[in-house]
Structure 1
Amino acid sequence: MMKRYISSFFAIAFIFSSCENEYNKEKLDTYFQSSPMQYNHKLTDVIVGDIFTPPVASRIYAYANIAAYEGIKFQDSLNLSLASQLNELENLPTPEQGKAYYYPLVSIVAFTEVAQSLVFDLERVQEIQKKLLNDVQEIGIDQEVYKNSVNFGKTIGKHILQWAKEDGYNQRTALPLYSVTDDPGRWRPTPPGYMDAIEPHWNTLRPFVLDSVQQFDPGPPTPFDTNEGSKFYEEAMEVYSTVKELSPDQVDIAKFWDCNPNISVTQGHVMYFKQKISPGGHWMHITTQAMEDLEGSLSEKQGILAVVSITLADAFISCWDQKYKSNLIRPETYINTYIDPNWEPILQTPAFPEHTSGHSVASMASATVLTELVSAQYAFIDSTEVPYGLPKRSYESFNQAAEEAAISRLYGGIHYRPAIVKGLSQGKAIGGHILNNIKLR
């Protein structure tokens, strides 16, 4: 059972107008009973189609879910706004006295308003919102409440978007591109696509809860060294040997947690790309599964989705700061240069520096938050990767899933062990900080 935020609905959950009988409230409530989860799935589909990088995807989830929470928190007078809890978020709109609203509708309108402004395929999100509004009208709702709710949702969305515009995202594109140098220990593009460095200035974005991007810096990697017997050489040899000796289950683990949104595939002289879910999308899916399984109000479930999305966003900002600070060479480049020119990793090496492991940081940060807000003993079957052709996997806890996600980077041949170990510690610290600084009740 959820350890926090589970309570019965209060009488103010739905504010009735004088024409209460005109509502088909039972059908409306049924229609919206899984809306926080369903609309995150819809957003994931758009994010995958738009091929957003992991950091950018995490930002989209965060702003959309914050807006959704601020739209539905009025279901219960004990719910707290995220205003003043998140950096520079102030003076959020509130319901007008004397007006009636249906807050589940307010929430999803706010969610889709924000989402359509942050994705490329805005028409797809607009169609999602249009269908939502048509469905609500067909079910039956008082037109004054409908108008109030839609307008209030759009007002919240506009406020969140204005706040988002000030986070440094747009300004980062004016900063210098990543420079590839002759430094042998420095990251350089890897095969087969030799893609440019992804988001070298992500650390310039405003964090959501962290005091600064350096707050939970994990420390530098092992010093680069090409001498046999050196610590760094041994770390590279561990990756090399591990990949050559993988069991079938370890191969499955590596592929299950790949979460590379854009894999390049070469057939002959033709290269094409395959799109998949991001690490943040994977953990948002795990969270929606947990919310479907457990009891609680819509505002409580949306609150947890918002906190997890915020955690993911700050995890990527924190991780990316050290990545481009250390600019460490990937195992594939090192091994091909100094150990075995024909060696290949199981997974395609992502297009950014090695230290620390982003999946390790994001996974343990999310697991830390979910363990506290849901349960330390929550066992689940993860079906996230089924749409991408992979079977389900079972876990006894969120932490077990996070630890498997982390070690998958060694099995996949894309990270040295210190990036995994330090990444897990970094993620746990970030998750703890989020829990200490965000209160929903």
Structure 2
Amino acid sequence: MSLLTVPGWRRGAAGIAAAALAAGMSVAAPAAAATATVDTILEWYDTTAAAIATGTRPQVTNSRAWAISWLAAARAVRTAPASAAGHYQDAALATAVHTALSTLIPDSAPTLDAALRTTLDRIPDGRAKDRGVAAGQREARSLAAQRAGDGLDPAAVNPPYPAPDPGPGVWQPTPPSFSAAQQAGTRFATPFVLDRADRYRPEPPPALGSERYRADLAEVRAYGAADSTVRTPQQTDTATFWLGSSLTLYTGILRAALAQSTRPTAWRASLVAIFHVALVDTQIATSDAKYAYLRWRPVTAIQADGDPGWTPLHGTPAHPDYPSGHNTYAGAAEQVLTALIGAQARRPYTITSPSQPGATRTYADWRRPTEENVDARVWSGIHTRTADEVGVRLGRDVAAYTVRSAARLFT
């Protein structure tokens, strides 16, 4: 049964619980009092975030690590026994995430080992704990084996990609570094749920010289220039805040959703798993569209359009313009959270940004960050508004497909 066809799905907690059961996820009793003082979900969410923050792997490789580790955890906790469910689930979740991440990010193994000891030491010894540990190890090893060779390792994501011959509208390496194209191999990776990378490939970008094309270019030329006289300080702040990694920025948003949730462990673990599965598949679909159309970046277009000294506010990433990857990510994240939680957060939440240290932003829903991402990439001078808006639609489409198909992840 599709999650979105479960009666009451969009009517709050009762519908979400029904959907969880339909997907094969157990809705277990609250954790025992002995472990109630520590939220194991948040403990291991933060442990995962810290482990993934190490190194310089491609974003989609890091999204894969999130997806594998938390999908393994969600599968492990869903078979909790009726008695001592909390002890079993805490042991299963911690062990699954630890086992998966220790394999995927071996440099973090010592820190992960210490975190696992901390969790297991507070769980009373016994059959529930032992069964949880065994389930976590089993699910993590099984899923890691299934995903081996899926094309999301750094070398497969970023293979050599010769620059195409120059021509009007055709992507070319951009100043100042003129780096080779990145993420060209992601389009060949194996999705978790999506049946093919081009299922939601958008229509081609606006034709060169069309009214929409001219309007897009004029907006970026005016508002995205390093020396823009029309961009406001507030718009510059927005561009800078959302410049950082989408994965890093949305780690705070998803954590807020988890922290506010009163749902059982199995449901919350599954939320993290579905979120990152959707984001992996979205990045595969994004790469497919980018390299199908190879649309040049605004800096190339504007310099070719009689303004050779034009420079964007922020450096242009080394891959084609259409669609915007930041915005496919934002659209997918928004869609998952809206489908599984509702349009509004339970209460306002605040996030930080790696690209604007010390700054914070507070939101009450999941849509506002998407809207700011659309504007931000224009005001940074690195995407057209059409690329941004089409990116949001692509991300929402892939994420909606993932949520509809989520039962397959837990069988």
* TM bucket normalised to smaller: 0.7 to 0.9
Q: Say which SS state the counterpart of residue 63 (structure 1) adopts.
A: helix
Q: What 5-or-longer segments of structure 2 have no aligned partner?
A: 1-11
Distance change >3 Å, CA 393–CA 325, structure 1 → 2: same
C-alpha contact (below 8 Å) 1:381/1:392 kept by paired residues: no
Query: Partner of 1:88 in structure 2?
Result: none
Q: Say which SS state the counterpart of residue 192 (structure 2) adopts.
A: coil
Equivalent residue in structure 1 for 2:45, among 36, 40, 45: 40
Query: Partner of 2:276 in structure 1?
Result: 309
Matched ranges for 1:89-104 at <5 A: 102-104=88-90
- Return 165-174 or 131-140, whichever deviates more: 165-174
Cα distance in structure 2, aligned partners of 1:323 and 1:181: 13
Length, aligned pairs only: 385
Distance change >3 Å, CA 55–CA 130, structure 1 → 2: closer
Deviation at 1:395, TM superposition (A): 2.3
Deviation at 1:233, TM superposition (A): 4.3
Deviation at 1:196, TM superposition (A): 2.3
Q: Say which SS state the counterpart of residue 321 (structure 2) adopts.
A: coil
Distance change >3 Å, CA 164–CA 297, structure 1 → 2: same
1:320 paired with 2:300, answer: no
C-alpha contact (below 8 Å) 2:170/2:296 kept by paired residues: yes
Cα distance in structure 2, aligned partners of 1:393 and 1:172: 35
Q: Say which SS state the counterpart of residue 344 (structure 2) adopts.
A: coil
Cα distance in structure 2, aligned partners of 1:137 and 1:159: 22
Amino acid at match of 2:303: N
Deviation at 1:132, TM superposition (A): 2.9
Equivalent residue in structure 1 for 2:254, among 279, 287, 300: 287
C-alpha contact (below 8 Å) 1:190/1:333 kept by paired residues: yes
C-alpha contact (below 8 Å) 1:4/1:374 kept by paired residues: no
Distance change >3 Å, CA 113–CA 324, structure 1 → 2: same
1:258 paired with 2:243, answer: yes
Equivalent residue in structure 1 for 2:218, among 210, 214, 237: 237
Q: What 5-or-longer segments of structure 1 have no aligned partner?
A: 16-24, 78-98, 260-277
1:126-157 C-alpha deviation (Å, 9 max, x unpaired) = 22332233324543521554444323311211
Query: Partner of 1:300 in structure 2?
Result: 267
What TM-score do you get using the length of structure 1 for normalisation?
Answer: 0.78
Cα distance in structure 1, aligned partners of 2:328 and 2:241: 17
Amino acid at match of 2:181: A
Distance change >3 Å, CA 380–CA 311, structure 1 → 2: farther
Query: Partner of 2:5 in structure 1?
Result: none
C-alpha contact (below 8 Å) 1:75/1:103 kept by paired residues: yes
Q: Say which SS state the counterpart of residue 359 (structure 2) adopts.
A: coil
1:212 paired with 2:196, answer: yes
Q: Say which SS state the counterpart of residue 352 (structure 2) adopts.
A: coil
Q: Say which SS state the counterpart of residue 169 (structure 1) adopts.
A: coil
Cα distance in structure 1, aligned partners of 2:121 and 2:159: 52
Distance change >3 Å, CA 181–CA 173, structure 1 → 2: same
Cα distance in structure 1, aligned partners of 2:239 and 2:148: 36
Cα distance in structure 2, aligned partners of 1:333 and 1:351: 12
Query: Partner of 2:9 in structure 1?
Result: none
Query: Partner of 1:198 in structure 2?
Result: 182
Deviation at 1:388, TM superposition (A): 5.5
Q: Say which SS state the counterpart of residue 79 (structure 2) adopts.
A: helix
C-alpha contact (below 8 Å) 2:235/2:376 kept by paired residues: yes
1:417 paired with 2:398, answer: no
Cα distance in structure 1, aligned partners of 2:321 and 2:154: 25
1:404-434 C-alpha deviation (Å, 9 max, x unpaired) = 1122111111111211121122122222212
C-alpha contact (below 8 Å) 2:158/2:186 kept by paired residues: no
Deviation at 1:66, TM superposition (A): 0.7
C-alpha contact (below 8 Å) 1:2/1:373 kept by paired residues: no
1:329-379 C-alpha deviation (Å, 9 max, x unpaired) = 111222233342332222221111111011111111111121121121225
Distance change >3 Å, CA 6–CA 291, structure 1 → 2: farther
Matched ranges for 1:25-424 at <5 A: 25-31=32-38, 33=39, 35-75=40-80, 102-119=88-105, 122-124=106-108, 126-142=109-125, 144-169=127-152, 173=156, 177-184=160-167, 185-224=169-208, 232-243=213-224, 244=228, 245-259=230-244, 278-378=245-345, 380-385=348-353, 389-424=357-392
Query: Partner of 1:263 in structure 2?
Result: none
Q: Say which SS state the counterpart of residue 102 (structure 1) adopts.
A: helix
What TM-score do you get using the length of structure 2 for normalisation?
Answer: 0.84
